[in-house]
Amino acid sequence: MHFNRSAFCFYKILSLKTIRTIKMSKKIIKLFLRLSISIGFLSAVADRFGMWNKEVAVWGNWENFLDYTKIINPVIPENLIEPVGIIATVVEIILPVFLLIRYKTETFAKISGFLLLIFALSMTFSTGIKATFDFSVFTASAAAFALSTMKEKFLELDAFANKCCEQN
């Protein structure tokens, strides 16, 4: 079997031995979790307001989002679907903002995990489990819960606030 030099180098970079020796900083992992969870929430909010083009949008507009909200919440009366959609949207804006500004990360990550878990279970019981896997909702929930367990502070507002209070 013949390998050219670049293919061999690529193989060497991706070898299991190399992957095992890469050490990822907990700070980088925490940043990645914070960003991916926040972007996921904000992307969903942007979708329901028609900010994604229709080729990639899931809902594409507020009405379609409310129709889906009704599907995954069959026990909620029709007249409460819009308030539920508004509340979900507001929460899906607040949570990523606090995660992005790094304030009370553990608390807001845990709330995010529960919200995503509720969403995943609602999807599962109303439309089946496939969509929850396709959209990685359980994975996002687990990522949020994992983020909530990372206690090490790195440039977080509450850490700065605690230092300021300790100095006074």
Q: What is the pLDDT of residue 55?
A: 93
3-state helix, strand and coil shares in percent for the chain, rounded to the nearest 5 = 75, 0, 25
Query: What value does the mean pLDDT take over residues 63-70?
Result: 97
Q: Please report how the helices 62-72 and 26-48 are oriented relative to each other, as an axis angle in degrees rounded to 10.
A: 110
Mean pLDDT of 150-161: 76
Q: What is the pTM of this model?
A: 0.80
- State what percent of residues in the chain have pLDDT above 70: 80
Q: List the single range of 34-43, 60-69, 71-80, 155-164 with lowest mean pLDDT.
A: 155-164
pLDDT of residue 107: 96
What confidence tens digit (pLDDT) does each residue in 105-115 have? 999 999 999 99
**pLDDT surpassing 60 at residue 8:** no
